[in-house]
Structure 1
Amino acid sequence: MPSWQRTHTCGELRLDHEGEEATLNGWVNNWRDHGGLVFIDLRDRYGMTQVVFDPNTDEEMHKVARDLRSEYVISVVGKVAPRLEGKRNPKLDTGDIELKATKLELLNRSEVTPFEIGPEAEATSEEIRLRHRYLDLRRPRMQRILDLRHRVCKTTRDYLSERGFLEVETPMLGRSTPEGARDFLVPSRVNPGDFYALPQSPQLYKQILMVAGYDRYFQIARCFRDEDLRANRQPEFTQVDIEMSFIDMDDIIGLIEGLACEIMSGILGRTITPPFPRYTWDDLMRRYGVDRPDLRFGMEIVDITGLAHETDFKVFQQAPSVRGLNAKGAADRYSRKGLDELTAFAGEYGARGLAWLKVDANSFTSPIAKFFSEEQAGKLREAMGAEPGDLLLFVADRYDASHAPLAALRHRLGKELELYNPDDFHFSWCVDFPLLEHDADTGHWVARHHPFTMPLEEDWHLLETEPEKVRAKAYDLIVNGEEAAGGTIRLHKPDLQAKVFSLIGLDEEEAQKRFGFLLDALKYGAPPHGGIAMGLDRWVMLLAKLENIRDCIAFPKTQRATDLMTGAPSEVEPRHLRELGLK
């Protein structure tokens, strides 16, 4: 065994170890030369221990210790001793002790790092940290996040395994099928001109597994989507993929509620109580403008269309729909400049304008206040639940066009006005989604989730006459304004599947061309089945209270889908392109 092999980690030693000899390995977090004694804080991913070098113990060792610098890698042997009274550090788990060094071995030096390996790194640009991700991942905060991610995975595996689920891997190289985003394509050298697609999800394979009789499947699956990125989206991501046979929606919802309770209890020590409230898609869109609202606070959208049409304000008179929000007590929080900023913000989400009213004791303050009679002003106060000091905000447009700006405003106001405790969690379900939605570009119906989603039985008769009214057996888990999981009950009846295909413009030949292997499988005794996928990255982001999903992925991509550390994507040698038959 090497002389530097550790006996303990840097987060392990306590007063119970007093007098014992220990060998620690790690990185020098910081050092302090007090003229005689040299102190260093030695760090590994388990914690930090103070080490003391005394010239009276070993003068040569002390000389080497004086030359140590941040991020040098060392091994140190010493005796565990209690710290002097008044010198204990309650912020460290090892803060009651120190290691009095008797032997030091310098394992490697480090150049000066481009940023501090600690909380100070948060002030460093993300670009620099991602370029040196190996240093960024060395920070205790990042190590805690990846440890949390590991524990979420382990809790999930244990929970599902205990309930009879099998973990089955599905292919990375598959066939390109339409699933709502662009595929990443991989050219085939053996079959020139043909391409594999990286999976957007294991959707079709897991349905094949149900046909094959594997009634409880799961996989912590890597997925790929070539789509525009944002703070909570990556081109490659991880989902906990689940599929079950001989079940219905309530079975899957109950399973996931149990898993959510297990994760919250095991990871955060928090108790949540199922069943979680369920809301229909129509209800959430009407009340919050989005199907994944943050329900840690209220501030519901109020429809005042009828009243608005009675006023002399032409914008309100001519708008198909007028809906608004009441920011309670916020009138003094937003100056005219602040209101202009809110108007511009709403414009980013499609609003053509933002009308506002500040509520006084007996009147409104606003450029549009003059358009309301005294009676209309009274009705508006009543409709909006308005009190002196409130700020009323309105979007006048088509009903569906007002959803996005009002939802975005509500989210922003909730945060700026501190309407909720950021440490709280709220779990709920969105159900009864529309099966189809209209594509304005093509004029055709498209599947809202995917074309294998089962319609609600009571809506089957509407498929022929009013497809826009057909609801899906689909369900999303909402946590603090994020979609934390989503799934559907699948179509397992070939005749009903053919009807849905026809509605979205897929004839039998085209359907066979795209999904032939699944359609063939469904002919051979497919059981009723359904599933759900939980976004692992998003779960970790929520549990760790992160603003950016990149912080919970070890090696993420930027918003331009590049890896700054390795330089991917990059050009390849011309001979590789020739081998693949590409120019």
Structure 2
Amino acid sequence: MYRSHTCGDLRASHIDSEVVLSGWVHKVRDKGFVVWIDLRDRYGVTQLVFDEERTSKKLLEKARTLGRETVIKASGKVIERASKNPNLPTGEIELLVTGLEVLNESILPPFTIEDDTDGGEDIRMKYRYLDIRRNPVKNNLIFRHQVTMEVRKYLSGQGFIEVETPYLIKSTPEGARDFVVPSRMNEGQFYALPQSPQTFKQLLMVGGMDKYFQIVKCFRDEDLRADRQPEFTQIDCEMAFVEQEDVLNAFEGLTKHLLKEIKGVAVEDFPRMTYDEVMRRFGNDKPDIRFGMEFGELNEVAQHKDFNVFNSAELVVGIAVPGAASYTRKEIDTLVDWVKRPQIGAKGMVYMKCNEDGTYKSSVDKFYNQEDFANWAKATGAKTGDLILVLSGKTNETRSQLSALRMEMAERLGLRKADEFAPLWVVDFPLLELDEETGHYHAMHHPFTSPKPGQLELLDTDPSAVRANAYDLVLNGNEIGGGSIRIHDKETQAIMFKHLGFSPEEAKAQFGFLMDAFQYGAPPHGGIAFGLDRLVAILGGQETIRDFIAFPKNNSGRDVMIDAPAPIDKEQLEELHLKLDL
């Protein structure tokens, strides 16, 4: 028997019990006449004790030779700890060791296995299996498991059935690049790894499985960042015989359940805003509504005042930063430099202070009077002591720039609190987006999203005005889920493909199987997919998904631990009918 208890089990009630523990040597403290060893496993830490009076000399010497991370088995009697540790669940006891077996020795780890480690990110990624032994990573993985189990429990209780869909599928245009897999048995042909199970879950609705879900791996060959990986996990869901309201209510329920069960937080209010509204008020379609600083459009009160920068702009817009009128000129200059960075792209920034004495002070004083500035304050909702920051330029670019500045100011002011949760539904997205480079429209969500009722005819006359029967769930400034009511008849789907630039032949080749299925009584249906990695990270008080994935890729899409991707040998290439000119 390797263990009768884990290293987190033992308490004062176990005193005088004979037990067996196994785990990793966490620390060794040798005082000459006594040796203490902290033994660690997934469940906790138990102190082992060896001393000259009660331990054989041979056993004491053996304990002194143990290095960190050596795997051992220790047997003995649980005794009361002389110097108790109130910060440790096992801190009232220790194990007086009578038997010790080395199960596997360890070489010196490349970084210390401690909560506050000395290992940088690159080295910890390379030795991820060691990093998982640290409490922060281990606890994140346990937390992810808890969230996943609650998802399964809730959806199963609501009548959803988990169904697995294929990983080797056909390449389809869904917005990102596919990962492709060559077929050995079908020369010159390729599978693709799914970007989502979209068409399969729709086919399940045709098959009568009216409530489906799947916790599923998806793959997108795109550039990476902190909240994006080439392989990621979705909570994928679909329902038949539903309208938008049914889907929103169902998954508000899931979100409330997770917040209550995982975080102990009761959230009742799920406000809804249209896409046009959130863009106007916050400058992006996934706003963080835990704090204010809503946009105030200033065109009417800031243009035609001899300040050509504003007069030539499509949009002049500002935010009121609470309590920041005390910022020095040097602090404001750092903000100007911040918005001028290439990542933001603004050409400059205007500011206005709302002074405590009721006056206003601005970087453009010579162009405006106090009455003008009072109108700025009114438009932005600024109060005494606030600082108004103003950007101008093309509408979409300026909104994006000010949105980034709003989030930066919230971070600096500590307004984005990890223990506060503010969900938001964003609805009525545009159905199509115009690619300004090509002049062609593409689907803002995907080609299977239905237009809002009564708007199908607008596709021929005013495509940009058509709104989608689509919705995103935003939590704390992050999109955690998105979905739509789907097209469920062949004729409408054919019209959609036509407006996306597919010829009838191309549509048939790519999606003929789905359009054929629609002819056999496809029910009205819709669904949603949550990004599990991002959802877990936000519930865990973070926004970097990598910390909640067991074996993540780096920012170049590489697994530095196993050194992948990697070349394959010539024989494999030949079997796959591939030839590389290197």
Gaps of 5+ in 1: none
Verify: 1:179 aligned to 2:174, yes or no.
yes
What residue in structure 1 maps to residue 103 of structure 2?
107
Verify: 1:193 aligned to 2:188, yes or no.
yes
Deviations 1:337-388 (CA, angstroms, capped at 9, x unpaired): 6534444435423323322223334554444221112332232233233344
Q: How many angstroms does 1:420 deviate by?
A: 4.1
Q: How many angstroms does 1:49 deviate by?
A: 1.0
Verify: 1:34 aligned to 2:22, yes or no.
no
Comparing 149-158 and 371-380, the one that deviates more: 371-380
Deviations 1:48-91 (CA, angstroms, capped at 9, x unpaired): 1111112223221111111222111111112122222xx22222
| Separation in 1, partners of 2:171, 2:352 | 52
What residue in structure 2 maps to residue 202 of structure 1?
197
What residue in structure 2 maps to residue 497 of structure 1?
493
**Contact 1:350–1:404 (Cα < 8 Å) also in 2:** no
- Inter-CA distance 6–79: structure 2 relative to 1 (3 Å threshold): same
Equivalent residues in 2 for 1:408-557, closer than 5 Å = 408-557=404-553
**Contact 2:339–2:349 (Cα < 8 Å) also in 1:** no
Equivalent residues in 2 for 1:280-299, closer than 5 Å = 280-299=274-293
| Separation in 2, partners of 1:148, 1:342 | 40
What residue in structure 2 maps to residue 67 of structure 1?
65
Q: How many angstroms does 1:526 deviate by?
A: 0.4
Gaps of 5+ in 2: none
Q: How many angstroms does 1:289 deviate by?
A: 0.5
| Separation in 2, partners of 1:334, 1:281 | 36
Residue 73 of structure 2 aligns to a residue whose secondary structure is: strand
Residue 485 of structure 1 aligns to a residue whose secondary structure is: strand
Comparing 420-429 and 27-36, the one that deviates more: 420-429
- Inter-CA distance 163–377: structure 2 relative to 1 (3 Å threshold): closer
**Contact 1:434–1:448 (Cα < 8 Å) also in 2:** yes
**Contact 2:432–2:443 (Cα < 8 Å) also in 1:** yes
Q: Which amino acid letter does the alignment assign opposite residue 81 of structure 2?
A: R
Verify: 1:116 aligned to 2:104, yes or no.
no
Q: Which amino acid letter does the alignment assign opposite residue 174 of structure 1?
A: I
Q: How many angstroms does 1:521 deviate by?
A: 0.8
Q: How many angstroms does 1:425 deviate by?
A: 1.1
Residue 120 of structure 1 aligns to a residue whose secondary structure is: coil
Verify: 1:52 aligned to 2:46, yes or no.
no
**Contact 1:198–1:224 (Cα < 8 Å) also in 2:** yes
So what's the TM-score if we normalise by structure 2?
A: 0.96
Q: Which amino acid letter does the alignment assign opposite residue 310 of structure 1?
A: H
Deviations 1:272-298 (CA, angstroms, capped at 9, x unpaired): 22x511111111111000111111111
**Contact 1:475–1:487 (Cα < 8 Å) also in 2:** yes
Equivalent residues in 2 for 1:138-153, closer than 5 Å = 138-153=133-148
Verify: 1:310 aligned to 2:304, yes or no.
yes
Q: How many angstroms does 1:533 deviate by?
A: 0.6
Match of 1:563 among 547, 559, 564: 559
Deviations 1:299-350 (CA, angstroms, capped at 9, x unpaired): 1010001112132211001111101111121133454365344444354233
Residue 310 of structure 1 aligns to a residue whose secondary structure is: coil
Deviations 1:487-540 (CA, angstroms, capped at 9, x unpaired): 111000222222222222222211111111111111111000111111110011
Comparing 352-361 and 73-82, the one that deviates more: 352-361
**Contact 2:110–2:119 (Cα < 8 Å) also in 1:** no
Deviations 1:95-124 (CA, angstroms, capped at 9, x unpaired): 222112121111121111111111222x53
What residue in structure 2 maps to residue 163 of structure 1?
158
Deviations 1:521-564 (CA, angstroms, capped at 9, x unpaired): 11111000111111110011112222421111111101100011
- Inter-CA distance 484–187: structure 2 relative to 1 (3 Å threshold): same
Q: Which amino acid letter does the alignment assign opposite residue 498 of structure 1?
A: A
Match of 2:210 among 211, 215, 227: 215
| Separation in 1, partners of 2:147, 2:382 | 44
| Separation in 1, partners of 2:327, 2:132 | 40
**Contact 1:311–1:373 (Cα < 8 Å) also in 2:** no
Comparing 492-501 and 548-557, the one that deviates more: 492-501
RMSD of equivalent CA atoms: 1.7
Q: Which amino acid letter does the alignment assign opposite residue 152 of structure 1?
A: V
Residue 486 of structure 1 aligns to a residue whose secondary structure is: strand
Query: Number of aligned pairs?
Result: 576
Q: Which amino acid letter does the alignment assign opposite residue 70 of structure 1?
A: R
Identity between Structure 1 and Structure 2 (%): 48
Deviations 1:143-171 (CA, angstroms, capped at 9, x unpaired): 11101111111111121222222211111
